[in-house]
């Protein structure tokens, strides 16, 4: 085996700021370079490497892409390889990160000029088409997480590495499952472990519950607010509601409007382009404050950001309907500790425009996760049969790595921050 070094700069034993430095021969590449958003605190960033030749970007979510402009602001004018739609999503999210940081008084170490420069360095690649990065042969494989999400298979001197990024082994309305069948043999697997110790509830039941919540809310004269992530999540919700026969209008607000336009343009990156277009036709975009005010005055279903209630138009809608017990707010994913979404679930109140606000609306939480569950991660490992496994991107990654060693006899690692593993 050729010597390969893997150093975890971030995203180890945690979810956030994914950043792995892989070195083989004379080539040093970053596998993602994200930031960690912490409620009520300054974001965290991985360290700046002394030398890097390229970045392999699995997808655009900020915990994987949010530190990229810091590379160019620190003199690393390097190419970034990813699927075409990933660049467009990243542009949306990185500029928004600057805007949010300014509003909150946080320093993120880059500005619009740095974002423009890193976007100009983007090199679009295609799934299943090998390309060279220095001494490495790299192939992107569909990860099934969001449109354009990729795993990276890296080959060097007869040794192969697979970095999963975020992946999903089950099909969703929006995405096909990860293309495990396209993955060549793997010696070293670097896998996410977000839900390595948990199973997701059946998606069909979550979809049925969501439709029921919205229909009953509208029947009672209330407003049905559905909060979700801008990229992927709210579009998945809209597709699910349409597939389940929901006939009412769906209003879409926040950053999800632009991300939906991007997804429609790159409709070749989703599971079914026709289903996507039909769902988009059932959506009405909220274009201005006048429209926002108008739709809250009568029963309507509103899909809006942000997914953890940390900001965005959802604050306006909740403030307007906060005393209406017939209205509902449905959270479509996990709520990180310290977020306003978690506070609402646990305390029945949240902060809106600096004021503690009690919410009388009915609050629901559903699971529309785009990550592989425990069984999905184990399926990937069993099918690939790697010689070694590095477990990252999970709060219980150490426990999972120990389980892989004890119960499956694998050579498994959950590195500490900054730790180097050499093969």
The per-residue pLDDT for 2 is 65
Alpha-helical (H) ranges within 15-172 are 62-65, 68-73, 84-104, 112-120
Residue 13: the pLDDT is 94
State phi, psi for 390 to the nearest 5 degrees: -110, 120
pLDDT (tens digit, 9 = 90+) per residue, 77-95?
A: 999 999 999 999 999 999 9
> 188 pLDDT band (50/70/90 cuts)?
very high
- Contact at 8 Å (CB) between 227 and 314? yes
Q: What are the domain boundaries of the chain?
A: 4-198+370-422, 203-365
Mean pLDDT to the nearest integer, 344-348:
97
Identify which of 336, 343, 351, 379 has the alpha carbon closest to the alpha carbon of residue 14: 336
Residue-level pLDDT at 198? 97
Residue entry with tokens 């490992």: 381
When pLDDT is cut at 50, 70 and 90, the band that residue 111 belongs to is very high
Name the architecture of domain 4-198+370-422.
4-Layer Sandwich (3.60)
Overall pTM > 0.95: yes
Predicted pLDDT of residue 372:
98
Mean pLDDT of the chain: 96
pLDDT at 6: 98
Residue 192 has pLDDT above 80, yes or no: yes
Q: Which fold has domain 203-365?
A: Rossmann fold (3.40.50)
1: pLDDT strictly greater than 60: no
Measured CA to CA, the distance from residue 37 to residue 271 in angstroms comes to: 30
- pLDDT above 90: percentage of residues in the chain: 97
For residue 40, the model assigns a pLDDT of 85
Omega before 372 cis (within 30°)? Answer: no
Helix (H) or strand (E) holding 329: strand 328-331
- Enumerate residues 6+ apart whose C-beta is below 8 A from 219: none
Task: List, in sequence order, every residue forming a beta bridge with 80; answer none if it has no partner.
Answer: 55, 122
Mean pLDDT of 194-215: 98
| pLDDT tens profile 25-67 | 999 999 999 999 988 899 999 999 999 999 999 999 999 999 9
Q: In sequence order, what are the residues at sequence separation of 6 or more whose Cβ sits closer than 8 angstroms to the Cβ of residue 166?
A: 58, 59, 61, 64, 143, 145, 146, 149, 192, 194, 370, 371, 393
């Amino acid at each position: 085996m050729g010597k390969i070094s893997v150093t975890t700069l971030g995203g180890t034993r945690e979810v956030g700021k994914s950043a792995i430095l892989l070195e083989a021969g004379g080539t040093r590449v970053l596998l993602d370079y994200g930031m960690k958003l912490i409620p009520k605190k300054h974001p965290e960033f991985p360290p700046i490497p002394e030398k890097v030749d390229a970045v392999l970007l699995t997808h655009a979510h900020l915990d994987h892409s949010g530190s990229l402009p810091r590379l160019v602001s620190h003199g690393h004018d390097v190419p970034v390889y990813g699927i075409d739609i990933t660049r467009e999503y990243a542009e949306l999210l990185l500029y928004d990160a600057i805007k949010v940081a300014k509003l909150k008084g946080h320093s993120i170490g880059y500005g619009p000029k740095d974002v423009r420069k890193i976007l100009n360095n983007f090199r679009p690649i295609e799934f299943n088409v090998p390309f060279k990065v220095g001494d490495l042969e790299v192939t992107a494989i569909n990860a099934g997480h969001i449109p354009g999400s990729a795993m990276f298979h890296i080959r060097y001197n007869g040794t192969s590495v697979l970095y999963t990024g975020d992946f999903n082994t089950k099909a969703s309305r929006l995405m096909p499952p990860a293309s495990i069948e396209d993955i060549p043999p793997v010696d070293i697997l670097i896998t996410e472990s977000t839900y390595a110790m948990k199973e997701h509830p059946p998606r069909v039941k979550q979809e049925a519950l969501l439709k029921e919540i919205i229909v009953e809310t509208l029947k009672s004269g209330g407003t049905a607010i559905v909060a979700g992530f801008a990229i992927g999540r709210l579009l998945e919700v809209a597709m699910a509601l349409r597939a389940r026969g929901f006939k009412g209008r769906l209003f879409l607000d926040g950053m999800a409007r632009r991300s939906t336009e991007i997804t429609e343009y790159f409709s070749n990156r989703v599971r079914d382009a026709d289903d996507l277009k039909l769902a988009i036709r059932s959506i009405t975009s909220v274009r201005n404050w006048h429209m926002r005010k108008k739709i809250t005055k009568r029963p309507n279903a509103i899909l809006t950001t942000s997914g953890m209630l940390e900001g965005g138009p959802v604050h306006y809608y909740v403030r307007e309907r906060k005393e209406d017990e017939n209205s509902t707010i449905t959270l479509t994913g996990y709520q990180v500790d310290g977020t306003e979404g978690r506070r609402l679930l646990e305390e029945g109140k949240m902060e809106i425009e600096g004021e503690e606000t009690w919410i009388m609306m009915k609050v629901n939480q559903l699971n529309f996760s785009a990550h592989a569950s425990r069984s999905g991660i184990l399926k990937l490992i069993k099918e690939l049969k790697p010689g070694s496994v590095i477990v990252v991107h999970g709060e219980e990654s150490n426990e999972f790595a120990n389980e892989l060693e004890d119960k499956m006899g694998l050579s498994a690692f959950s590195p500490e921050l900054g730790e180097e593993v050499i093969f």
